[in-house]
Amino acid sequence: MDIKAKSTVILNSLFIFIFSFFTQISLASSISIQEKQSSSHSPWSFSYFGLYSQEFDSIDKGGGRLSSYNYITSSYRLDGDNKVAFRLPFSINSAGFDDFNGNANQEQEALLQDFIISYTDYNLILLPLDIGVYWEARWYLPTSKFSRDTKMISRFRNDFIFSKYLTSRNVFEYTSKFNYYYQSQSVYKNDFTDENGFDVSVSSRTKRFYHDHWLSYWYRFSHNFSLGFLTGWEDTYYNKSSVNEGRNKPGKHEYKIGPQVAFELSSNANFIFQISDNVINDENRDELGQFKTENAEMTLLAFVRF
């Protein structure tokens, strides 16, 4: 084989290697660390999601309240990347203390939450720079007690996850969950028992928009174990009303940062554990990153597919 032929073979081999490498990265870019598809061969599938959280300072009070938001999902796959789903959500909260209720020890409770109808596209589009896009649209029906009490008509949520694989191990993800609340009224009567045991009744504003979004960096040690770090924001805006005109204020803005770990027990069960430091912009923004017990929270997200 002459030098020219050898050069051609080498160049072709190099081209194939580069093409294969970037094809693998491109395909990986559309795979989210968080959202996984069911391996079921049937178009119908079932899954469970659970979000369990506990505040660090409530543990110091001698009985931190463990809160959970869960749903059971029945999904129908339209094709390889698209599905419609029906989710039955419920929350289970243990007895104990939390920040919202101060020193009042809360009883254990189980509550039905707002029913969800959703449409998902796991690979909506591949953007330039090989950025994969996951998209989900949700429609919430007012089946929870809180939604009925506030007379909410409906809620709409739009989710995006933008995934960028720098290499097979280094991954950036930006997650955006934007919520719009369609309300029948701008205020509602809010009855509760304060931390001193007194019954309180106030007029509270109903939500208009809520946006939870964060940027995550992940380092994948293997296909089933990753370590990461997140930084994010939560923005909440309320409706205005003459009933509480004197107490109207700009939207509430919260910041959060913290480490996280993602792991899989099987192809149908993956989990994310997070410890986050949460502060409010107008109150304690300068405490961000200090992980004080009154600001820190631990969360476990469970994704199980049947």
pLDDT in tens, 229-240: 999 999 999 998
Does some domain include residue 181?
yes
* CB-CB contact of 207 with 237 (8 Å): yes
Which of 28-37, 225-234, 239-248 has the least mean pLDDT?
A: 28-37
- What is the span of the domain harbouring residue 255? 31-305
pLDDT for the residue numbered 190:
82
Q: Is residue 176 a part of any domain in this protein?
A: yes
pLDDT tens, position by position, 70-107: 999 999 999 989 999 999 999 999 876 666 555 566 77
Query: What does the pLDDT read at residue 103?
Result: 59
Angle at 73 (CA atoms; ends 70, 75), nearest 5 degrees: 160
pLDDT of residue 25: 38
Segment 46-73 mean pLDDT: 85
Which residues in the chain belong to E strands, given as ranges? Answer: 44-55, 67-77, 82-93, 109-112, 115-127, 131-141, 152-165, 170-183, 187-193, 199-205, 207-222, 225-238, 252-266, 269-280, 296-305
Within a domain: 296: yes
Cβ-proximal residues to 224 (8 Å cutoff; 6+ apart), any chain: 263, 264, 270
Contact 155, 120 (CB under 8 A): no
| CATH code of the domain containing 85 | 2.40.160.40
- Among the ranges given (2-6, 90-94, 182-186, 273-277), the one the predictor scored with the smallest mean pLDDT: 2-6
Residues 140 and 120: their CA atoms lie apart, in Å, by 15
Q: Residue 26 above 60 pLDDT?
A: no
Given a cut of 50, whether residue 23 has pLDDT beyond it is no
285 lies in a domain? Answer: yes
Percentage of residues in the chain having pLDDT higher than 90: 64
Q: What is the mean pLDDT of residues 295-305?
A: 95
Q: Is residue 69 part of a domain?
A: yes
* CA-CA-CA-CA torsion sign (106, 112, 114, 120): positive
Please state the domain count of the chain.
1
Is residue 48 included in any domain, yes or no? yes
Comparing C-alpha atoms, which of 145, 179, 182 is closest to residue 160? 179
**Band of residue 5 on the pLDDT scale cut at 50, 70, 90:** very low
Query: Which position has the higher pLDDT, 197 or 127?
Result: 127
Q: pLDDT digit string (tens) for 191-203?
A: 776 666 677 888 8
Residue 163 banded pLDDT, cuts 50, 70, 90: very high
Residue 5 included in any domain: no
| Cα 196 from Cα 225, distance rounded (Å) | 45
Question: In this predicted structure, which of 52-56, 197-201, 258-262 has the lowest mean pLDDT?
Answer: 197-201
Radius of gyration (Cα) for the chain, nearest Å? Answer: 23
The more confidently predicted of residues 35 and 43 is 43
Question: Cα–Cα distance between 42 and 160 in angstroms, integer?
Answer: 26
Higher pLDDT, 243 or 144: 144
Q: What is the chain's mean pLDDT, rounded?
A: 85
The pLDDT value recorded for residue 236 is: 97
pLDDT bracket for residue 19 (50, 70, 90): very low
Residue 144 within a domain? yes
Who wins on pLDDT, 229 or 244? 229
